[in-house]
Chain A
Amino acid sequence: MDKWLHPAIFYFIGSLLLPFIRNEKAKKVFILLIPILSIIDVAFMQVGVYGKFSFLNTTLIFGRVDKLSLIFAWVFVIMAFLGALYALHVKEDGHHVAGSFYIGSSLGAVFAGDYFTLFIFWEIMAFSSVFLVWYRKEQRSIDAGYRYLLVHVFGGLLFFTGMMLYYYKTGNLLFERILPINAGLPEYLILAGFCLNAAVIPLHAWLPDAYPEATVEGAVLMCAFTTKTAVYVLLRGFPGFEILAIFGTAMTVYGVFYAVIENDMRRVLAYHIVSQVGYMVAGIGIGTELALNGACSHAFAHILYKALLFMGTGAVLYMTGTAKLSKLGGLYKYMPLTMIFYIVGAVSISGFPLFSGFVSKSMIVAAAHHEGRITLMLLMNLAGIGTFLSVGLKVTYFAFFSKEEAPIKAKEPPKNMLWAMGLTSALCFIIGVYPQSLYQLLPYHNEYNPFTPPHVSEMLQILSFTGLIFFLLVKKLAPEDKMNLDVDYFYRKGARIFMWIDEKVISVVDAFWGELYRTFGLKLLFKNADISYGFDRIAIDGVVDGSAKGVRGLGGLAKFLQGGRIQSYIGLSILILILIMGFVIYGK
């Protein structure tokens, strides 16, 4: 095949045209048209390598199309449509533009065949998604957005350093599978950069920090793309790394542990992303064909049900103005449809038979079982308990029931939100009853059948008895109006120490010398104008006052440079991207 159109093009060009459409209805049609076109594009895509050209002594590949990239492209474009439908009522063009750039760059990362192309899209993802947090327009969101961006810049730097060292070591930037025995510092730096985006503990704290502060519609997109693009690159580059099996399993338990004690619904779900991505990372670490297939199918299923859960809680937040469980309750009378869709998402993530989590998560658990990794298997099942306990029971019970009368009365959300939730629910159900629809997309040969009597019995026992214990201990689980510390404590407090040094030490020194200057310098100035003038200029201002001022000035300059860099950075990357896209379309 010689014709290939990068699906990201629809999103990039579409988002640039969007602000020029004035008519409300036309705008809505256009917003939905972008993902529909990309779905058609992906549907007709043939396996092969496209968009290949030389750049600075290395080969850039924009279109590596194989079964692994296709399954992720499929779920990304489907999710893009559902996310666009859910966000149809949003008035700000900027929100749609940021969303489109974010989705487009995720697709770019999935089809990238070399580290350089991947890196460019990787960075556009971080810089466009942060706007989905900032559009919430609250101080908390703006702060969380800056932290999100800083952490991702750090991750990007790890990746970039690794990439440069990798080029130095191998002489090329091709993004291929790395064998654990060949891995040295460059590979592990790249791995660390990927792991940060996959929210592997202890590099995960940005996720539960930022996602709950994002806009209702933005969180639906964010939960799908950043971590799953990272899962894709880990699947591509690092299968069979033992460290991933261990950290992944630790993530599954760590995430549910926090989800059990969290009060904010969307933070519960954010911790569940850590937990669910943990299954995928563990699957990648186990590295058998069944485990890798499991990671793929779980990523696919996870994107849908996690988006559904974020849509449901987002609808509650949108209609009631809060996502805090301690303030909610009794909503089943007012938002029954939202509740049903949320429950579909909850039983899917918990892995109830006939819903999507059951056919995907169990592949990874079964792979651990096959390999004799019983400890890993038990921990994953423990995480399964926590998943049902917190997402399935705790949130459902405390948001929709628990109180006879709802403290906050609400109505069902707008129609477009309900439709998006309904369609996503249908997909979760279809995958659950007809797993072949998902399995046929898997990259490796697959013979796994989830509907065996021991497996159905295993899942039903785990989930049902979790339910029993929940209702026995329900009073213990009552949500509390608290926040819980996580490892972001270290950099949030660390930054405070830095700020403290800036405020107390440098400012005090500055003020002290200012005072000294006023009392002594001025007196001297009056008495011995000539001498003190020289002394002041050279000694006090130049050496002391000037140095403190210099430090603060440097800080200001750094701030200015950073602020300027973000904009020019985005601008430059977009420009490069458009140029390269142009080459790909017309050059080939």
Chain B
Amino acid sequence: MNVLKYIEMLRKDMKMLKKVLIAYLIILVIYDVIIHIGKHGHYYVDNIPAFWTLFGIAGCFILIKVAKGIAHTFLGKNEDYYG
């Protein structure tokens, strides 16, 4: 299977993959800064360069922490909780 070969190839070279992905993230932020030059929108979400980068990082972090926190304190029960 060809697909399998590619996946195995990527898994073998994780360091390279990481570098490529980090470069991609940086390019993404730079691109967003560029498209903000000379533009002015109605709302603050439109006017802060790389706003969605910050939103993505903060949102994802908070979501994981809050959800897992609540699951560990009182929502999580054993599988046979209802009998």
Contact = CB atoms under 8 A, between A and B. Distances in A.
Contacts of B56: 385, 461-466, 469
B67 A469 contact: no
A22 interface: no
A457 B60 contact: no
B52 A457 contact: yes
B77 A465 contact: no
Contact of A482 (B7, B39, B45, B77): B77
B43 A333 contact: no
A461 B63 contact: no
Nearest to B66: A257
Contacts of B79: 481-483
Contacts of A386: 63
B57 to A, nearest CB: 5
Contacts of A460: 28
Given A381-B55, A462-B56, A464-B56, A457 B28 contact: yes
A454 B35 contact: yes
Interface in A343-376: 369, 372, 374
Nearest to B31: A457
B78 A378 contact: no
Contacts of A333: 4
B63 A464 contact: no
A54 B83 CA distance: 51
Interface residues of B, number: 42
Q: How large is the interface on A (under 10, 10 to 19, 20 to 34, 35 or more residues)?
A: 35 or more
A256 B42 contact: no
A261 interface: yes
A476 B61 CA distance: 11
A473 B28 contact: no
A340 B2 CA distance: 12
A369 B61 CA distance: 24
B4 A469 contact: no
A374 to B, nearest CB: 5
A338 to B, nearest CB: 11
Contact of B64 (A453, A457, A469, A485): A469
B5 to A, nearest CB: 10
B76 interface: yes
Interface in A414-462: 453-454, 457-458, 460-462
B35 A453 contact: yes
A482 B78 contact: yes
A261 B63 contact: no
A240 B74 CA distance: 37
B28 A461 contact: yes
B55 A256 contact: no
A464 B28 CA distance: 9
B61 A473 contact: yes
Among A372, A476, A481, A484, residue most surrounded by chain B Cβ atoms (within 10 Å):
A484
Contact of B60 (A337, A458, A470, A484): A470
B68 A381 contact: no
Contacts of B78: 482-483
Contacts of A469: 56-57, 60-61, 64
Among B50, B55, B56, B75, residue most surrounded by chain A Cβ atoms (within 10 Å):
B56
Among A336, A382, A385, A485, residue most surrounded by chain B Cβ atoms (within 10 Å):
A385
A103 B7 CA distance: 39
A287 to B, nearest CB: 20
B50 A260 contact: no
B59 A257 contact: no
A104 to B, nearest CB: 34
Contact of B32 (A372, A382, A457): A457
A257 B55 contact: no
Given A454-B46, A482-B76, A461 B61 contact: no
Contacts of B61: 469, 473
Nearest to B45: A374
B8 to A, nearest CB: 9
8 contacts: A260-B63, A261-B67, A261-B68, A336-B7, A381-B52, A457-B52, A464-B56, A469-B56
Interface of B: 1, 3-4, 7, 21, 24-25, 28-29, 31-32, 35, 39, 42-46, 50, 52-53, 55-57, 59-61, 63-64, 66-68, 70-71, 74-79, 81-82
